[in-house]
Amino acid sequence: MPFDISLALDLLGTFFFAVSGCLLAARKGFDIIGSLLLGSLVGLGGGVARDVILDAGVPAAFSQPLYLMPPLLATVLVFFLFQHVERGGNLLRMFDAGGLGLFCITGTLKALGAGLNPVAAVLLGVTTAIGGGVLRDITANEVPQLFNSRDLYAIPCFLGAILTTVLWYSGAMNLVTGIATAVAVFALRMLSHRYSWHAPMAVRGWKHRRAFRN
């Protein structure tokens, strides 16, 4: 997969995550600057963590001003359009799932390109993908969506990162297979929420508790 396509997918994932941050900012009553900052944190936080861990110079979010466009666009879109759509968490979850699907691909690819072994690349891809959302929820003083025990969040992400690694090693990673992987991660995440697919609880035999708002 040539770099510019990877960059395009990375920017699109940044945009999706940034929208989820701006939507949460709207729900928490932040102002438009808070929306821009939370959108930037979510959109860029996972990638900055990835680049810092890879120890490969100044993170792309700081060295390439292009990465500031998605959060700016997300802030403007939420400002003008959000009042015409529902206020609930469905929209936030959908954009978050879109960012999740794209970032577990691009994060894993960047780690593989930096020479990490497959296991480490999957881990760093998952860290990139879940990092922004965790930062969003922690900053807004909520328990991260990641830990909601009534649907799947990390599992689609792990599967996507593993599939990306397999495709990369087999030489079959291209725009079509990359986007197909992202769509599959997105679909699995959303279907798991729709149909309440979930993993076993942390302790065998314990019941679920409803501890989440969205």
Spatial neighbors of 100 by CB under 8 A, at least 6 apart, are 129, 130, 133, 153, 156, 157, 185, 186, 189
- Is 159 a binder of its own copies (CB under 8 A)? no
CB nearer to its own copies: pick between 8 and 159: 159
Instruction: At 148, list the tokens.
Output: 């909601």
How far, in whole angstroms, is CA 157 from its chain's centroid? 9
CB distance 147 to 126 below 8 Å: no
Helix axes 118-139, 154-169, angle to 10 degrees: 150
Number of residues that bind its own copies (CB under 8 A): 66
| Token duo for residue 210 | 């409803």
Which of these ranges, 7-15, 95-103, 169-177, 197-205, lies near its own copies under the rule CB under 8 A? 197-205
Residues 1-40 that bind its own copies (CB under 8 A): 22, 25-26, 28-35, 37-38
- 79 or 113: CB nearest its own copies: 79
User: Nearer to its own copies by C-beta: 78 or 188?
Assistant: 78
Q: Which of 84, 150, 158 is nearest to 128 (CA)?
A: 158
Q: Which C-beta is closer to its own copies: that of 83 or that of 170?
A: 83
Binding site for its own copies (CB under 8 A): 22, 25-26, 28-35, 37-38, 48, 52-59, 62-63, 65, 68, 75, 78-80, 82-83, 116-117, 119-120, 123-124, 130, 134, 138-144, 146-147, 149, 152-155, 198-206, 208-209, 211
